Structure 1
Amino acid sequence: MPDPFRVLVLNQVSASGLKRLPSDTYVVGKEVTDPDAVLLRSADMHAMDIPPGVKAIGRCGAGTNNIPVAAMSARGVPVFNAPGANANAVKELVLAGMLMAARNLAPAQRFVDLLDPGAADLEKAVEAGKKDFAGTELAGQTLGIIGLGKIGSLVADAAIKLGMNVLGYDPEITVDAAWSLPAQVKKAAGVNDVLKSANFITLHVPLLDATRNLVNAKNLALAKQGAVLLNFSREGVVDDEAVLAALDRKDLGWYVCDFPGSRILRHARVIALPHLGASTHEAEENCAVMVADQLRDFLEHGNIANAVNFPNVSMERESRFRVAIANANVPNMLGQISTAMARAGLNIHTMVNKSRGDMAYTLVDVDSPVGEEVIAALKRIGGVLAVRYLPQP
């Protein structure tokens, strides 16, 4: 019987996810040494000495900023995440944020907290103070959504059901996302168009070089006076200093976000929440289950789904003998792989190869056992990053 896979867990991960890794073939825990894989949520791996035997990393969430993805790519290690698994949780928090801003709930709550419960004129004080917190209704307002992936689509659908008009923009929208988008969503020409037209603007984009400070002083000047900006995406997609200046000028009405950075804390028109986007039991379970299943399929069969640095590659087993190869996306790799196997007298039963940017990945099923000398020969090919032999009993 082969040795069990060893999975190091860096955070408290939902038991529902851990149960997807059978105890007879996996050793899972926070004290695991020489791990084959690492499972985590928010732990920062950048300063971590990641063991050389690690073959995969699974992030129980969408963002992977806490993982050295480039370094893992150089080692041929896929980094899995769970896109969409926490989408409903984030959607509900966006709706809550819109309602908090529209109805001035944060200052209204602060006002109530300061009331004297023993005062004889308490009811009179409440009635006198409530006029300062009159708000607006969401129905009939325009919501601008920047980023129309799973979360953006769910937010759009919910907003339409609340009677809002929805304007959306996403230059990288996928076919699947486009199909799931409600037909009532109007297409914006760009970020500036959204900011000029919307009463509420919500961001749902990853943090990349192209999206850093996506909302900034220049385009905030285009926003409708009193507009509400919501950021449940990533802290860096918004220029905090520009937002504060817009709030002070009363160009923006509210900034609602999930990132309580030091610059924005305690501003009267900022509602900052403590990273609550995916903090529901349901979302944590969904993320853990999704990533555990992806991790298991990779470790046992070499299949890849939802890795942020690898192409999606899946192939049904047509032989007991499988080789998985991660390599640089350069010419003649398949030829060299096939040649190495042919020289060893191996007949390729079926093969699939896909690429994503600089990374390529190949699964090969052969008709007979693969010896260690063949694996060594494959590893010697220039540009090959990792080779795994995955025989079935």
Structure 2
Amino acid sequence: MRQPKYALAAYDIDAEEDDVWALCADAENLFGDPRPPTRGTYELLGCAPEGGLSTAVTRARAAGSAPLGFLALEILDKKGERVEEWYLEDVRVLGDRPCARDLSLRDITIEARESPHNAFDYPQCPPLSPGYRLLGARNEPSGSCRDLAFVQDQPDLVEPSVRLLGCSPRGALRTALEAGEEDLGHAKLVRLDATGRTVQSAVEGELIAWIPSGRGRGLVDLTLEPWSERPPAAAQEVWELWDEGRPSEPNLWARCGEAGRAFWLDTARENRDASAPDAPPGTTYHLDGRHITDQAGFFCALGEAVNGPGGYFGWGLSALDDCLRGRWGARRPFSLLWHEAQVARLCLGLIPRTDDRPATFEELLAFLAGGGIDVRLA
């Protein structure tokens, strides 16, 4: 019989590690991919449109709306100098009207989503600022506006609560249930492997309800309202591959898609042996390149090359740079013999260039060389 898949523990930084409130046979409604950013409606107040924005306004008058794309708002100080930028993506012009304060200007209504790269939730101009300078995707002038007004966004969809099934309560939770307390407390849910060892944190939240479980006498089903992000759908596949503990077979990650490979890196990082010493400088590592078809796959393979199956050695270039400083399994300089490198050469870097694109094969080689790694292609 399979051991419980999850353990529920007190959400308390001062609690003991073994302060487990319940072991749970399974969970429902646990996994959920992050939603795409919601679109909102905004007004560019007191706007003097130029370039692509002016063209989109003209088209919107004829067609009812018109696509614009990317729009950057440069926040200006009282001297008209740039202070900061704030970005809107996938912008669509819905219409325009004369500005009530200055009939030579326009109030333009747009629909857009906020960029995930914004440093703050909403832009604010400093005192005596003339407003915003507007720029397109290639920094081409798109005009100016005196203010930005947020009108409305799409309503948030309500996600179902997490149900923890077949739970055997213990400790403080059991005491609370027996006393009939309504406040059951805050808890964290962790994934267990088949031996009962912790694999990875799953979600945190508040216990809001319970009922007797149909899975056995003395068991309960609990309802958890998450306040942290849920694990993505890809986590389910990864956790199944880690069910017997840290993998002893290489390339299990290759069975996963790109999202699963990215989550595999999180799992590998959380399960690394921080007490293991680094291999000495000058070591040669063998990188199995047969399955490196995306950037996440490169880092999965690199982690296993350095630290064995299920190993971790960075999830991106910045994390790799940290790993190269030591205490992550290898000390530079070292050599990396990249087998079947033609797979990565053909597959990496094919996504159209964006601000947040994956590295190309050549860029990876250059980064590794700059980090003191002697890469040999085989």
Shorter chain as denominator, the TM-score bin is under 0.3
Q: Which of the pair is proportionally richer in strand?
A: 2
Q: Which of the pair is proportionally richer in helix?
A: 1
